[in-house]
């Protein structure tokens, strides 16, 4: 402990302490008074022997209390402080984690966010004190950072800013928060001019993005400090959660849905609990599961899958039965839309489509099947009308367009632009005998359950892939002359092509052709979001179609919103901060209901990290009260006032007696 103004203490002690002693050495001057008896004045007998102006000092309780009170006031004048780690800058940026894991309750009714805010308030209370920064900025972060309070030297402003921070169910992106802090750090290279950055978190943050500009946590700062929140000794309370959910209709049976769940256990003991799956309000499956215990290197994980019969649409919800420290990840949901038959556009030669191709497409019972000529298609594409976007699949029957449409495509008896037919080995090869398939890519989703041992075709000798399409093109089936079935894979659309004509093969008589078409349709509709469930993670946005004529979207759920559509056909909703199921009035099906889940392994692993690697150095966590010097004079004054009240009470009792 040190004194900031020691001479004030010395001066006050030199003046006040002798004065108190002098008062106790003095005797009161007595005036003679005749009375008949002193029996009623027994107390005054002690003071009758007054022969001198001074008396011997008598140690009494009141004297000791007054001496102690005076000493406390004198010490407070010296401004004593307990020395801590001195701040390296006059400015401080406080980053407060408000992600999902900060909602965990280690003990009692307080969440980690409550403890983080209390730690921040403790730091703010020491602003401008000895060895402490004089002004602070407050940044709250989760999936995105937010400046809650700019630099301010007044303690009231930052205190109110900290109290206004609200929790979220989002993952914690510390990299983005440090980038925002870096923007306010200034361009001065002098470390004394850079701010000190303080991170208040449990350490459960998204790892840096490998291979990007944010491959490590970096910030310009005079000093970086980390205050870990929650747990004891790096541990944490028990928590198990659902960190991934996926539901998808089977391509061969649209009435069945495959549900996949990934579970995590962050506690050092195995977790045995019940896993319940519901469709809307009805429980359809209950299973007792066990999730392995976490190790020092990683949390325990388990996977579960369910086969659900769901001919229509519905809300699928999976929930764990054992309450734990973090409730957000105990439940996960997905919206499954009712199965919709595909819409198909068939582009045929001027003479009309191949009867086999037309019958094949009609067998899948599409909602819409339109037959158009190649000339019509070329004209519409040249005009930029984009008619093909309203179809799930565009089929080209012996037609080779000038350019590919935006929708997934399937070619029979033709090749997409850029793919060249292989030249025949002899003049009569193209007109020669039949060919067979010698091998095919059974591992590719398009060839799943497709058997081509009995396939015979003629009139096609294979294709060649140019160098610019080598990385995007996959050979699916190969004959002795060369590849005959392939696919150009893109992120938004895939273009499948069968080089030979169906009419010049025996494939229409084989069930494998139906399976192949089902695979193509399933893959095409999957790319367009038709076969997968609808769910997003917290911190993400969703783009929803608008019902024609709707002027507003009313979002109802854990957080409500009212959005003006502005006459647009699609509207991007703001990022969802809280997990749950949202109903969107004014949105077209199936996006009128959206399931928002935490589904984040880092947030569900609520074990407290003891350090963070920032600026290529490990920042070891420390307590907030150890940062900067702590002033003691308010406590000394409070103690002196309390003793003053006690001294007055004792004096009053003695005077009354």
Q: CA torsion sign, 263 to 266 to 268 to 273?
A: negative
pLDDT at 37: 63
Q: Partners of 421 in the beta sheet?
A: 463
Mean pLDDT estimate for the chain: 84
pLDDT at 369: 93
DSSP-derived letter for residue 335 is E
pLDDT at 211: 56
Residue 623 has pLDDT above 60, yes or no: yes
Q: Quick one: pLDDT band at residue 577, thresholds 50, 70, 90?
A: very high
Pair 538, 596: CB distance under 8 Å: yes
pLDDT digits (tens, 9 = 90+) for 464-486: 999 989 888 999 999 988 999 99
Phi and psi at residue 440, to the nearest 5°: -150, 160
Joined together, the tokens standing for residue 81 give: 């402080």
Q: CA torsion sign, 377 to 378 to 380 to 381?
A: positive
pLDDT at 528: 56
Instruction: Please give the average per-residue pLDDT across 391-406, as a whole number.
Output: 89
Phi and psi at residue 260, to the nearest 5°: -120, 135
Joined together, the tokens standing for residue 98 give: 């408000």
Neighbours of 273 (CB within 10 A): 20
pLDDT at 233: 45
Domain locations along the chain: 2-77+645-656, 91-235+611-628, 343-527, 535-597
Of 137, 139, 219, which Cα lies nearest the Cα of 175?
219
CATH of domain 535-597: 2.60.40
pLDDT digits (tens, 9 = 90+) for 446-457: 888 899 999 999
pLDDT at 4: 56
Pair 413, 497: CB distance under 8 Å: no
pLDDT digits (tens, 9 = 90+) for 110-157: 999 999 999 999 888 877 665 677 788 999 999 999 999 998 767 788
Q: How far is CA 535 from the centre of its chain?
A: 15
pLDDT digits (tens, 9 = 90+) for 583-608: 999 998 888 999 999 999 999 999 99
Instruction: Please give the average per-residue pLDDT across 432-440, as a whole number.
Output: 85
Pick among 3.40.50.880, 3.20.20.100, 3.40.640.10, 3.10.20.90: CATH of 343-527: 3.40.50.880
Residue 295 has pLDDT above 80, yes or no: yes
pLDDT at 269: 92
Distance CA 527, CA 155 (A): 54
Pair 408, 416: CB distance under 8 Å: no
Residue 58 has pLDDT above 80, yes or no: no
pLDDT at 642: 85
Joined together, the tokens standing for residue 189 give: 């290279």
Q: E strand or H helix at 176, and its extent?
A: helix 174-185
Of 243, 235, 299, 304, which Cα lies nearest the Cα of 270?
299
Distance CA 619, CA 227 (A): 10
The two most distant CA atoms of the chain are separated, in Å, by: 156
Q: CA torsion sign, 429 to 430 to 431 to 433?
A: positive
Percent helix, strand, coil in the chain, to 5, is 25, 30, 45
Q: Partners of 439 in the beta sheet?
A: 478
Place of tokens 């052709």: 513
Class of domain 91-235+611-628: alpha beta
Distance CA 310, CA 338 (A): 8
Joined together, the tokens standing for residue 465 give: 């892939």
pLDDT at 403: 86
C-alpha dihedral (245, 246, 247, 248), degrees to nearest 10: 180
∠508-532-390 over CA atoms, to 5°? Answer: 65
Q: Which residue has the higher pLDDT, 286 or 389?
A: 286
Q: Partners of 463 in the beta sheet?
A: 421
Domain 343-527 matches domain 535-597 at the CATH topology level = no
DSSP string, 405-464: -SS-EEEES---TTPEEPPPSSTTTTTS--EEEEEE-TTSGGGTT---TT-EE-S---EE
DSSP-derived letter for residue 206 is P
Percent of the chain with pLDDT over 70: 81
Instruction: Please give the average per-residue pLDDT across 566-579, as a whole number.
Output: 92
User: Of 64-78, 115-129, 255-269, which range is least confident?
Assistant: 64-78
Instruction: Please give the average per-residue pLDDT across 227-237, as a whole number.
Output: 71
Percent of the chain with pLDDT over 90: 47
pLDDT digits (tens, 9 = 90+) for 503-518: 999 999 999 999 999 8
């Amino acid at each position: 402990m040190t004194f900031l103004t020691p001479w004030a203490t010395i001066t006050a002690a030199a003046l006040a302490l002798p004065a108190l002693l002098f008062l106790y050495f003095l005797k009161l001057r007595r005036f003679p008074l005749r009375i008949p008896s002193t029996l009623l004045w027994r107390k005054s007998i002690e003071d009758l022997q007054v022969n001198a102006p001074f008396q011997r000092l008598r140690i009494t309780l009141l004297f000791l209390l007054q001496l102690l009170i005076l000493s406390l006031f004198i010490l407070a004048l010296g401004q004593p402080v307990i020395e801590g780690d001195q701040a390296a800058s006059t400015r401080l940026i406080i980053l407060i984690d408000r992600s999902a894991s900060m909602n965990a309750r280690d003990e009692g009714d307080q969440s980690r966010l409550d403890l983080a805010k209390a730690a921040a308030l403790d730091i703010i209370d020491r602003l401008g004190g000895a060895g402490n920064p004089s002004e602070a900025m407050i940044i709250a972060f989760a999936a995105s950072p937010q400046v809650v309070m700019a630099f301010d030297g007044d303690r009231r402003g930052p205190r109110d800013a900290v109290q206004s921070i609200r929790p979220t169910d989002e993952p914690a992106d510390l990299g983005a928060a440090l980038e925002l802090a870096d923007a306010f750090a200034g361009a001065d290279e002098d470390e004394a001019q850079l701010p000190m950055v303080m991170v208040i978190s449990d350490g459960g943050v998204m790892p840096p993005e490998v291979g990007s500009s944010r491959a490590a946590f970096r910030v310009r700062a005079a000093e970086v400090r980390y205050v870990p929140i929650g747990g004891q000794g790096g541990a944490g309370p028990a928590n198990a959660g659902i960190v991934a959910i996926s539901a998808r209709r089977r391509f061969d049976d649209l009435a069945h849905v495959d549900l996949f769940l990934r579970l995590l256990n962050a506690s050092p003991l195995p977790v045995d609990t019940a896993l319940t799956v519901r469709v809307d309000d009805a429980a359809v499956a209950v299973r007792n599961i066990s999730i392995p215990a976490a190790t020092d290197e990683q949390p325990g994980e388990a996977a579960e899958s369910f086969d659900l019969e769901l001919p229509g649409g519905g809300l699928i919800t999976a929930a764990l039965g054992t309450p734990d420290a973090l409730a957000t990840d105990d439940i996960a949901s997905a919206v499954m839309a009712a199965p919709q038959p595909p819409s198909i556009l068939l582009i045929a030669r001027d003479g009309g489509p191949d009867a086999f191709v037309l019958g094949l497409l009609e067998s899948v019972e599409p909602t819409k099947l339109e037959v158009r000529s190649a000339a019509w298609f070329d004209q519409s594409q040249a005009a930029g009308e984009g008619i093909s976007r309203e179809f799930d699949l565009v089929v080209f029957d012996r037609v080779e367009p000038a350019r590919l449409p935006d929708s997934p495509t399937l070619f029979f008896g033709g090749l997409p632009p850029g793919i060249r037919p292989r030249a025949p080995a002899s003049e009569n090869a193209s007109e020669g005998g039949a060919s067979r398939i010698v091998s095919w890519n059974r591992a590719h989703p398009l060839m799943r359950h497709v058997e081509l041992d009995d396939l015979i075709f003629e009139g096609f000798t294979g294709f060649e892939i140019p160098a610019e399409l080598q990385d995007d093109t996959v050979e699916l089936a190969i004959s002795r002359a060369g590849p005959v079935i392939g696919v150009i894979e893109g992120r938004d659309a895939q273009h499948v092509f069968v080089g030979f004509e169906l009419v010049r093969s025996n494939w229409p008589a084989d069930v494998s052709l139906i399976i192949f078409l089902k695979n193509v349709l399933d893959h095409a509709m999957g790319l367009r979001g038709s076969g997968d469930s609808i769910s997003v993670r917290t911190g993400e946005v969703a783009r929803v179609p608008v019902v024609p004529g709707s002027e507003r979207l009313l979002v109802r759920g854990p957080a409500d919103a009212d959005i003006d559509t502005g006459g647009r056909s699609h509207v991007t909703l703001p990022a969802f901060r809280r997990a749950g199921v949202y109903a969107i009035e004014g949105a077209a099906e199936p996006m009128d209901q959206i399931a928002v889940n935490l589904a984040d392994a880092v947030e569900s692993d609520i074990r407290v990290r003891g350090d963070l690697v920032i600026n290529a150095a490990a920042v070891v966590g420390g307590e907030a009260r150890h940062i900067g010097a702590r002033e003691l004079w308010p406590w000394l004054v409070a103690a002196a006032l309390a003793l003053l009240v006690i001294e007055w009470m004792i004096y009053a009792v003695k005077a009354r007696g």
